[in-house]
A and B are shown apart, each in its own frame.
Chain A
């Protein structure tokens, strides 16, 4: 039995625990020749340098804003969608809506960002044709700081709304129909039943997913952000992870960027623990 687990064990040791050991280079001056263990210690130098860099506040601000925006918009929408979809009586229509709304999840982010360029192009894009039709000036959306965050969040909603709703739809199908029947007898409207029966029934799942979401706060979506990034929108789109990639791998400053990544991971973990505590206090659901 243990033999069956061995490959997985080795995998996790090498690709998850070894990098954690490698995190120490955040406090060192990494040199490839001396390796992780042999590089000299530098203490908090890299952290101080990041804090004092001119980019620091821009990066922190963008990271937090994008994630808060996403949490406020992209988290509740699938819940609403699931609650409404659950009220559709016609099974075939329901199935069709599900199949189609899941589809974008299987499209790559490269293609999604490519499609954004096609639809939002200043000269040939559909949206700008529409703007011109109404007498407005065309906008170069993909090169705009002001539009960046909204485009990022709402294209994410387009891509993942259906997929994220799966869990809620499944949970809703497990709600005891007797409760609805009793409520109907008592004269409750559909809206009342959604608010009083459906929503409370899926509340534990909502809380758990919220905790998980906040646990990955500040790290999700950077691969897409990187694709959407260009010289024109950089001040609105540079986040911790993209900065880590650029300074670390493109700029070969391994120690400095590891330190920044570590800051990110620690904040993540503290947020997760905090939210979990809050959830524990008010409800019985929590991760641990």
Chain B
């Protein structure tokens, strides 16, 4: 192949590639965009398929109704509470544990690592874990959502690898010469140098606490404890199945209109916090994912 042909085929490749990327961009972004415009449009216009590119008959009724929904706001507050407490707990545990695993001068380091890594490949499963949580008396409390998933082996390894590659040995040696304790070294020197990994771990933790519904489904009975996702499940999915299966559309028209009005709005309101946080941490988590998965 001579140079001219090569340039030609590269041009075709570039154009094709750009086209593919735009297509991907569109197919990822459009559903999200549609939810946004549908949330401020008249529900009849939305359900008859007239809302495609721009909102129609703009109305904020969906949002106004949401604000009046006490159950939703209770769920929202619960989720904030669980996410904040859970993230504080799991990030600090992971940092401490990961740091200990990163210390080469520690006896038994490899045994501790093995002890952690084993849990990635073998676990007791849903029922035995449930029985443990139940025996500890955590069911139907917020601790059942936070503590059983507080530490993940994968995150510990990410943290360990970060400390191994980013904290120079000389720092530790210098501080040992000065006679400062390990704990002091960890809090005064290591943690301030570890902002990227702290940000990444915190984000992972917030996102998983905010978005999970299954632990709550298993462990909680009181509605007043329900996190946002369980409330969403009722609003978005459970009544949808009933409607879809029903043959007589007339009966359900009212119910459907009302639900349709709020659905799009509630998706926005519940997803917005996460979608707003992650771009700020983006440059860190690329690095975090990278060291975690390559090095292990």
B186 within 8 A of A: yes
A189 within 8 A of B: yes
B194-218 with Cβ < 8 A to chain A: 207, 210-214, 218
Given A167-B289, A208-B293, the answer on whether A244 and B24 have CB atoms closer than 8 Å is: no
Inside 8 A of A126's CB, which chain B residues have their CB? 34, 49, 52
Q: Tell me whether B128 and A25 are in contact (CB under 8 A).
A: yes
Q: Tell me whether B32 and A249 are in contact (CB under 8 A).
A: no
* Closest chain B CB from A225 CB (angstroms): 11
The chain A residue with its CB closest to the CB of B22 is: A97
Q: Tell me whether B122 and A187 are in contact (CB under 8 A).
A: no
Q: How far is the CA of A269 from the CA of B125 in the complex (A)?
A: 13
Inside 8 A of B278's CB, which chain A residues have their CB? 102-103, 106
B115 within 8 A of A: yes
* Closest chain A CB from B288 CB (angstroms): 10
Q: Tell me whether A100 and B274 are in contact (CB under 8 A).
A: no
The chain B residue with its CB closest to the CB of A253 is: B127
Q: How far is the CA of A241 from the CA of B125 in the complex (A)?
A: 9
Q: How far is the CA of A98 from the CA of B21 in the complex (A)?
A: 10
Inside 8 A of B128's CB, which chain A residues have their CB? 18-23, 25, 258, 261
Inside 8 A of A170's CB, which chain B residues have their CB? 286-287, 289-290
The chain A residue with its CB closest to the CB of B101 is: A5
B41 within 8 A of A: no
Give a binary string over A232-257; 1 marks a CB under 8 Å from any B CB, 0 the rest: 10000000010011001100001001
The chain B residue with its CB closest to the CB of A120 is: B244
B272-295 with Cβ < 8 A to chain A: 274-275, 277-279, 282, 285-287, 289-290, 293-294
For chain A, the count of residues having a C-beta within 8 Å of the partner chain is 96
* Closest chain B CB from A266 CB (angstroms): 9
Interface-lining segment among A53-61, A65-73, A84-92: A84-92
Q: Tell me whether B132 and A223 are in contact (CB under 8 A).
A: no
A44 within 8 A of B: no
Cβ-defined partner of B232 (8 Å) among A21, A87, A110 = A110
Q: How far is the CA of A188 from the CA of B11 in the complex (A)?
A: 13
For chain B, the count of residues having a C-beta within 8 Å of the partner chain is 99
Inside 8 A of B121's CB, which chain A residues have their CB? 215, 268-269, 272
Inside 8 A of A262's CB, which chain B residues have their CB? 125
Q: How far is the CA of A223 from the CA of B249 in the complex (A)?
A: 30
Q: Tell me whether A22 and B124 are in contact (CB under 8 A).
A: yes
The chain B residue with its CB closest to the CB of A255 is: B127
Inside 8 A of B289's CB, which chain A residues have their CB? 166-167, 170
Cβ-defined partner of B28 (8 Å) among A88, A118, A158, A244 = A158
Q: Tell me whether B93 and A190 are in contact (CB under 8 A).
A: no
Q: Tell me whether B244 and A108 are in contact (CB under 8 A).
A: no
Q: Tell me whether A4 and B186 are in contact (CB under 8 A).
A: yes
Q: Tell me whether A244 and B125 are in contact (CB under 8 A).
A: yes
The chain B residue with its CB closest to the CB of A81 is: B24
Given A84-B17, A261-B125, the answer on whether A123 and B213 have CB atoms closer than 8 Å is: no
Q: What are 10 A-to-B residue pairs whose CB atoms are below 8 Å? A: A8-B151, A87-B14, A97-B25, A108-B270, A114-B237, A190-B14, A205-B293, A223-B214, A230-B241, A265-B122
Known: A87-B13, A100-B29. 12 other contacts (CB 8 A): A12-B119, A18-B124, A22-B127, A97-B25, A100-B25, A106-B277, A108-B213, A119-B31, A140-B244, A166-B285, A171-B290, A245-B218
The 7 A-B pairs of least Cβ separation, nearest first, read A19-B124, A114-B236, A22-B128, A8-B97, A261-B125, A108-B211, A124-B47
